[in-house]
């Protein structure tokens, strides 16, 4: 918190498209989509119109034994994202969606008679949120170390087959890596309730991209073992990697999908868990049988958020955003490569969809300094909100950002790096 003495909070006056404007008139490119949620940029006119239209009807009512037209339409659209996952459970932010999926998986195993299946496994370098179960399954010590005695103790799958792009041979075939990973998994096979993954891209871990073949093999293994697979698509879902869901890269379907962030394009807090009818049916019984899945959420099914989410999904479809992201992938890679070539200070460029990242080339002495944070401060002065992950520089802009703005972002990134290094 002491950082704010030397780098005071920036006062935002307005935001529009890919830009944030400060009270002093400085315009900033939102290079990270305001922590990955502004998928359609700021102040999108169609989303605003949908919000106002719902506001004239009602803003929120209890979502227990009630429903309304907008939430029905939204649920029907979400059920089409991964055909077969046609049951939707609503909450607020992403961490809650993760907690719900974990609880549901654990409870479902118990109802099926597998009371020994009480454990979870996650991936090395993964991140799933900061509520307690989600935090315990996040392999980022900075976040969970203060609370470690109270957290669940999962096994993390190590030595993942990381790639820099879909052109890497490991993307298509990780058979050389899989036996060692399978050996790790087999140690817990009989006690696992579920495995949770950020499919294809690990966000907070450093924008790390791993083999789709690994995800495909993991799905096959979990199915054979009777273990649920939870796909945390909170960051990757709804177009970020060029598809509606990142799981599509591996052509697999998880048992649970968690969505948030881009679901309302960052307008309002909303999350959703998608699952199958057969899992839903495990909890379907008379009240006295006590199979109920209880997770009460005051703002579940919020009408304003639902209206914006419905319009957001419609915009993604009608404006062919997923295809646009696939086209932008090459452009983003080219621009980041230019930054690397001109500065000589970036390595390990990795790209998928509208995510591109690279690591700063630092001396031994510089590695102990917060160089990325200093570059962030310089970039602010030059007109970009280029907040790094440690010493990893990345762009994760709105999906509909114009190429000319990306060119401007490239120039600012070069100037900021050169200023410091």
To the question of whether residue 261 is assigned a binding role by annotation, the answer is: yes
How many angstroms separate the CA atoms of 203 and 240, rounded? 11
Instruction: For residue 23, say whether it is annotated as part of any ligand binding site.
Output: no
95 is in an annotated binding site: yes
- Report whether 96 contacts 297 (CB < 8 A): yes
Distance between CA atoms of 18 and 397, rounded to whole angstroms?
7
Residue 296, annotated ligand binder?
yes
394 is in an annotated binding site: no
Alpha helices in 155-302, H assignment, sequence order: 169-172, 178-186, 212-225, 277-282
Two structure tokens written together for 303: 């009408």
Q: What are phi and psi of 129, to 5 degrees?
A: 125, -175
Give one DSSP letter per residue of 243-277, joined into a string. Answer: SSSGGGGGT---SEEEE-GGGGTTSS--EEEEE-H
298 is in an annotated binding site: yes
75 marked as binding residue: no
| 410 CB burial (10 A radius; 0-12, 13-18, 19+) | buried
Rounded to 5°, angle at Cα 257 from 147 and 249: 110
The residue behind tokens 């199958």 is 276
232 marked ligand binding residue: yes
Is 385:32 a contact under the CB 8 Å cutoff? yes
Residues 6+ apart with CB under 8 A from 321: 39, 40, 239, 315, 399, 400
Number of Cβ within 10 Å of residue 180's Cβ equals 10
Q: How far apart are the first and last CA of the chain?
A: 26
| Helix (H) / strand (E) containing 20 | strand 19-22
Q: Find out whether 164 is annotated in a ligand binding site.
A: no
Residues in the chain: 421
Residue ranges of the binding site for substrate: 35, 127, 261, 296, 387
Residue ranges of the binding site: 35, 94-95, 127, 232, 261, 296-298, 387
Residue ranges of the binding site for pyridoxal 5'-phosphate: 94-95, 232, 297-298
């Amino acid at each position: 918190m002491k950082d704010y003495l030397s780098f005071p909070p920036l006062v935002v006056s307005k935001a529009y498209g890919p830009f944030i404007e400060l009270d002093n008139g400085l315009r900033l490119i939102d290079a990270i989509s305001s922590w990955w949620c502004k998928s359609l940029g700021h102040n999108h006119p169609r989303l605003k119109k949908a919000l106002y239209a719902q506001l004239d009807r009602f803003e929120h009512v209890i979502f227990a034994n009630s429903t309304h037209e907008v939430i029905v339409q939204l649920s029907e659209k979400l059920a089409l994202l991964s055909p077969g996952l046609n049951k939707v459970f609503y909450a607020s932010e992403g961490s809650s969606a993760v907690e719900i999926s974990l609880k549901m998986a654990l409870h479902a195993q118990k109802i099926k008679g597998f009371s020994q299946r009480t454990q979870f496994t996650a991936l090395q370098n993964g991140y799933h949120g900061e509520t307690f179960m989600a935090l315990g399954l996040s392999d980022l010590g900075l976040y969970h170390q203060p609370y470690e005695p109270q957290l669940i103790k999962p096994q993390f799958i190590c030595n993942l087959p990381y790639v820099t792009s879909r052109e890497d041979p490991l993307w298509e075939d990780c058979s050389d890596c899989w036996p060692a990973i399978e050996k790790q998994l087999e140690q817990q096979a009989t006690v696992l309730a579920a495995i949770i993954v950020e499919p294809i891209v690990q966000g907070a871990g450093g924008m790390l991209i791993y083999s789709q073949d690994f995800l495909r093999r993991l799905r096959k293994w979990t199915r054979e073992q009777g273990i649920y697979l939870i796909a945390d698509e909170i960051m990757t879902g709804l177009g970020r990697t060029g598809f509606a869901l990142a799981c599509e890269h591996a052509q697999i379907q998880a048992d649970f999908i968690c969505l948030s962030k881009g679901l309302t394009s960052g307008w309002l807090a909303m999350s959703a868990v998608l699952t199958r009818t057969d899992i839903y049916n495990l909890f379907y019984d008379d009240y006295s049988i006590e199979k109920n899945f209880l997770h009460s959420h005051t703002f579940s099914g919020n009408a304003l958020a639902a209206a914006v989410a419905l319009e957001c999904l419609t915009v993604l479809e009608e404006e062919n955003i997923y295809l646009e992201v696939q086209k932008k992938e090459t452009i983003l890679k080219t621009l980041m490569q230019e930054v690397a070539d001109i500065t000589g200070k970036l390595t390990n460029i990795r790209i998928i969809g509208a995510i591109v990242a690279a690591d700063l080339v630092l001396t031994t002495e510089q590695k102990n300094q917060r160089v990325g944070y200093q570059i962030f401060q310089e970039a602010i002065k030059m007109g970009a909100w280029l907040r790094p992950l440690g010493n990893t520089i990345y762009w994760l802009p709105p999906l509909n950002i114009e190429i000319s703005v990306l060119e401007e972002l490239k120039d600012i990134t070069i100037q900021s790096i050169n200023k410091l290094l």
